[in-house]
Amino acid sequence: MSVRKLKPITPGQRFRVVNGFDAITADKPEKSLLAPLKKTGGRNSQGKMTMRHRGGGHKRRYRIIDFKRDKQGIEAEVKSIQYDPNRTAFIALVEYKDGEKRYIVAQNGLQVGQKVMAGEKATPEIGNAMPLSQVPLGTIISCIELRPGQGAVMARSAGTFAQLMAKDGKFVTVKLPSGETRMILATCMATVGAVSNSDHQLLVSGKAGRSRWLGRRPRTRPVAMNPVDHPMGGGEGRASGGHPRSRNGIPAKGFRTRSKTKDSNRYIVERRKK
């Protein structure tokens, strides 16, 4: 994988850094695995705006991803690595021996023609999904379940990975991308390898218009608002705005909002770094 720095022939391309897309092998998605994706513009079912700075953007179609990897014990061949507009990671189209096709999140190093498998019989090789109880200690993993059968919820974005640290009874200890170390049931599934497109963090948009293509609308700085609009608004001239906080007054930058009585706190061995 690589990135390309464009020649500054326009102001928007002067600082632009784009993905080389070296790993991509197909430009047309599998039609049977597409679904419509409606835009909400940040509005709920009553038409009320519940999320600011959303709207517009290029039309997309959703790719149905197999996060559960529940077709177990059957080998599948990787047919292509594709771009997915709905996520930062690349996706892989795999075809099982019985002819069924599915999309999975592609791992770094996954190649076309490679065989992948899910289940207890799978070996700890890149792209294979298996219960955490079967994964060797120290292995780099991604696409991790939090509850058995739920489907992958952790370490799914571009370049992320976790590491299996220890096994103890029905739980395993995993160090997550955030730096948090927590216990997860050993029967939960995980995929071996780090998620693809690790260069995603190096990309530079180059212009505000590219944010609009992605469906992001402009955001007003709270310091520029009036006191009626935001706790950090008001003041004479360029006042700093006091302590950083949200619109409803919750402090930011280090203030812990996680409940002290949350049931899953007992599974956290070490909190994430500040």
Query: What confidence score (pLDDT) does residue 1 get?
Result: 65
* Residue 193 pLDDT level (bands cut at 50, 70, 90): very high
Query: What confidence score (pLDDT) does residue 241 get?
Result: 78
Q: What is the pLDDT of residues 31-80, one digit of tens each?
A: 999 999 999 999 999 999 999 999 999 999 999 999 999 999 999 999 99
Q: What is the pLDDT of residues 209-219, one digit of tens each?
A: 999 999 999 99
Q: What is the assigned CATH class of domain 3-201?
A: mainly beta
Q: What is the pLDDT of residues 126-138, one digit of tens each?
A: 999 999 999 999 9
Q: What is the pLDDT of residues 84-134, one digit of tens each?
A: 999 999 999 999 999 999 999 999 999 999 999 999 999 999 999 999 999
Write out the E strands in the chain. 3-5, 17-19, 34-36, 61-63, 76-82, 91-96, 101-105, 115-116, 129-131, 140-142, 162-168, 171-175, 181-185, 189-192, 268-270
